[in-house]
Amino acid sequence: MDPLDRHFRDSLADSSASQLAGAAGDADKSAWWWELFEAQATSRHLDFVARELQQEGRGFYTIGSSGHEGNALVAMATRLTDPALLHYRSGAFYVARARQAPGSTPVRDVLQGLMGLADEPIAGSRHKVFGHPDLAVIPQTSTIASHLPRSVGLAIALHRAHRLKVDCEWPEDAVVVCSFGDASANHSTASGAINTALATAFRGLPVPILFVCEDNGFGISVPTPGGWIEAAYGSRPGLTYLSADGSDPSAAWPAIVQAVEVVRGERRPAFLHLQTVRFGGHAGSDAEISYRKPREIEADYSRDPLLATASYLRAAGASAGDLLARYDTIRRQIDDEVARLADDPRLGSAAEIMAPLAPRHPVRVAATVSQLQQTRPDQTPARPRTLAESINATLDELLSADRRVLVFGEDVGVKGGVYGVTARLARKHGAARVFDTLLDEQAILGLGLGAGLAGLIPIPEVQYLAYLHNAEDQLRGEAATLPFYSRGRFTNPMVVRIAGLAYQKGFGGHFHNDNAVAVLRDIPGLVVACPARADDAAALLRTCVAAAIADSTLSVFLEPIALYHRRDLYETGDQAWLATDHEDHVPIGRARSYGHGSEALTMISFGNGVPMSLRVARRLASSGIAAQVLDLRWLAPLPVEDILAAALSTGKVLVVDETRHSGGVGEAVVTALVEAGFSGPIQRVASQDSFVPLGTAAEQVLLSEDEIEKAALTLTGMGEE
């Protein structure tokens, strides 16, 4: 028997061991105490069962909630409609919340997760999470603190959704509950998100979020110094801080209620410091004895929240026998459920596992583009535009067509973006829909993550590709995984505009010329669009937004900065890089071909490489070599079919890749060709494996037209040996 189980039983039997000597009996409240006891004891037994199942080879997760069961009180103080993003030790919260929803099955839900069963209600056991669509519990990843930016984003966005009269899953007076551990509170993601909440509230905007720090004094083996959480968060301007001893429910309850009331009533952030203990080490595999003294571990038993609740129940008239009987019945019910689940299936195929990753319905997306176009105010054909003008006009069109669309980021509002891409949009569509954010990419993406959950279609901007990287986990770990861990029940429709790639004249250095996109291309389900010209920009952007609406698609819209204002292609003044709209949309994964396919050579490129290749093609033509140029337009998923067709039509391929030789897009293009059985000659030219230096030195490491031409001549047998 688990020593904690033994201690609980022994203490119940010992009537002198009433943990809370002064526990006042209140028979009127006994139903409430029993409700608390049920939730806490259920969570406790699930922890014991988790470890037993693991030892039997039938369970796969042993991080428990024992000692944290005071968090059940937070569930009891909030509503079934308050979105909750929970710490992995919030098991008792989960059970207590479920008890507010008739017909819910928290024991089965948790067991299915522990046992890795395919019918687990939220993630289908793609991970062990607390989550349920009917309980407003949104599942979290294991990356500590990574859910805080989303939680803050949701608190901000739910108000905006109501203000814009957008259908929102969460009521206007909802409280966002966000729990996390004490060590997690030190993570920059947590401190950044809490700062975002406070800075936003400071500006007078509603931010109804309840931060719940479940403080057990440890992050795995590392102690959090006593008093640190209070020192860090106890006197932050604009943050109501309340401390509650989770091991004494009666004392904790008023503070918890007050914290919820502050958030619900005043629509501003509060920080509930819930003191807990951690029983059984960090996880089943953690030998706590290797870093804590036995007497310290034992001393924690006196702070068992379950015993505290039992003490109050006894003071209210329940006998030890009643409590033990209830405690044992709960355990029996769990065992029965385990028996019922014994033969239930686990996820059985890659296809089943991956189904929620990136559902794609191209016909629905096309229909959504048409719908968006119908409401377009000005149907007259546009004059020829630059890439930047086209993105601006299309954002304008999308903002007009659908009131759910939001555009935000650093400098996108009044200034209209560093490069003018969002110029005039704030003035026309108002500050509720086009606005500046804090200088924090994590907060920008967090707002996008929350806005998607609130029923909005966010189009956040990251000012430069190099500045995505400090926040990239919000895309990778949070946004891309939410449908995966919720079987599509909670999603992140979002189009992240990122200005990037190299060849900027006048504004040099790596950070304004980052040409690395590998970090995006390997995120499962993420769509990466990269328009090279104005008409494609409009069509690709519409497609991304329509896919966000129709399929909740998450996409990155990578804008080549050096092409923003480019007008000419071959000669100064030819204006050949301006374009008028000609397609409404471009299906995800379809390339554009320049040429008819009977040429001697296919150049496959994207972004800046497209006009470079077209110029090289003209030079080659004067040497009698006809070359086709294929613009990938989509970097993920790659237009494999079009790549192969273009390659087969000429038999010779030159991959023209402005990203780096290692990890660049070109590697994947070559691989796609080889895997598809293309047997003709393939060459690849790319930029160097270097950061981009300042000024004209950049030319030394970036792919040049001379290199492209040389490779093309060699490939066609016209070059020097």
Ligand X SMILES: Cc1ncc(C[n+]2csc(CCOP(=O)(O)OP(=O)(O)O)c2C)c(N)n1
Residues designated catalytic: 512
Q: Are 177 and 78 in contact (CB under 8 A)?
A: yes
Distances (CA, A) of 113 to 61, 106, 123, 304, 368: 8, 11, 8, 25, 36
In the complex, the smallest distance separating the C-beta of residue 352 from ligand X, rounded to whole angstroms, is 26
Through-space distance between the first and last CA atoms of the chain, rounded to whole angstroms: 79
Does 47 bind ligand X (CB under 6 A)? Our answer is no
Nearer to ligand X, 218 or 467 (CB): 218
Interacting stretch for Mg ion, rule CB under 5 A, among 91-99, 216-224, 366-374, 702-710? 216-224
Q: Closest residue to Mg ion, Cβ-based?
A: 181
In the complex, the smallest distance separating the C-beta of residue 286 from Mg ion, rounded to whole angstroms, is 12
H/E segment holding residue 359: none
Question: From ligand X, Mg ion, none, which one binds at residue 397 (CB under 5 to 8 Å depending on kind)?
Answer: none
Question: From ligand X, Mg ion, none, which one binds at residue 564 (CB under 5 to 8 Å depending on kind)?
Answer: none
Interacting stretch for Mg ion, rule CB under 5 A, among 208-216, 406-414, 618-626, 713-721? 208-216
* Helix orientation angle between 320-341 and 106-114, rounded to the nearest 10 degrees: 50
210 SS3 class: strand
**Distance (Å, rounded) from C-alpha 456 to C-alpha 449?**
10
Q: Where do runs of H (alpha helix) occur along 99-215?
A: 106-114, 148-163, 188-202
Does 89 bind ligand X (CB under 6 A)? Our answer is yes
Residue entry with tokens 């630059």: 386
H/E segment holding residue 172: none
Question: From ligand X, Mg ion, none, which one binds at residue 142 (CB under 5 to 8 Å depending on kind)?
Answer: ligand X
What is the token pair recorded at 235? 């006197």
String of contacts with ligand X for each residue 205-234, x by CB under 6 A: ---------x-x-xxx--------------
Question: From ligand X, Mg ion, none, which one binds at residue 143 (CB under 5 to 8 Å depending on kind)?
Answer: ligand X
Chain positions 140 to 199 lying near ligand X, rule: CB under 6 A, are 142-144, 181-184
CB atoms within 10 A of CB 695: 10
What are the backbone dihedrals phi and psi of residue 76, each rounded to the nearest 5 degrees, phi first? -70, -25
In the complex, the smallest distance separating the C-beta of residue 186 from Mg ion, rounded to whole angstroms, is 10
Q: Where do runs of H (alpha helix) occur along 300-382?
A: 305-315, 320-341, 350-354, 362-374
In the complex, the smallest distance separating the C-beta of residue 64 from ligand X, rounded to whole angstroms, is 10
Does 182 bind Mg ion (CB under 5 A)? Our answer is yes
In the complex, the smallest distance separating the C-beta of residue 276 from ligand X, rounded to whole angstroms, is 8
Question: From Mg ion, ligand X, none, which one binds at residue 385 (CB under 5 to 8 Å depending on kind)?
Answer: none
Backbone torsion region of residue 503, taken as left when φ is above 0, otherwise alpha when ψ lies between -120 and 50, otherwise beta: left
Does 181 bind Mg ion (CB under 5 A)? Our answer is yes
Nearer to ligand X, 31 or 231 (CB): 231
**Distance (Å, rounded) from C-alpha 628 to C-alpha 646?**
8
Chain-centroid distance, C-alpha 690: 30
Does 642 bind Mg ion (CB under 5 A)? Our answer is no
Chain-centroid distance, C-alpha 695: 36
What are the backbone dihedrals phi and psi of residue 163, each rounded to the nearest 5 degrees, phi first? -65, -35
Does 65 bind ligand X (CB under 6 A)? Our answer is no
Nearer to ligand X, 142 or 679 (CB): 142
In the complex, the smallest distance separating the C-beta of residue 663 from ligand X, rounded to whole angstroms, is 23
Does 279 bind ligand X (CB under 6 A)? Our answer is no
Interacting stretch for Mg ion, rule CB under 5 A, among 34-42, 212-220, 246-254, 352-360? 212-220
**Distance (Å, rounded) from C-alpha 647 to C-alpha 631?**
13
Size of the site for Mg ion (CB under 5 A): 5
Question: From ligand X, Mg ion, none, which one binds at residue 441 (CB under 5 to 8 Å depending on kind)?
Answer: none
Which parts of this chain interact with ligand X (CB under 6 A)?
Answer: 89, 142-144, 181-184, 214, 216, 218-220, 278, 282
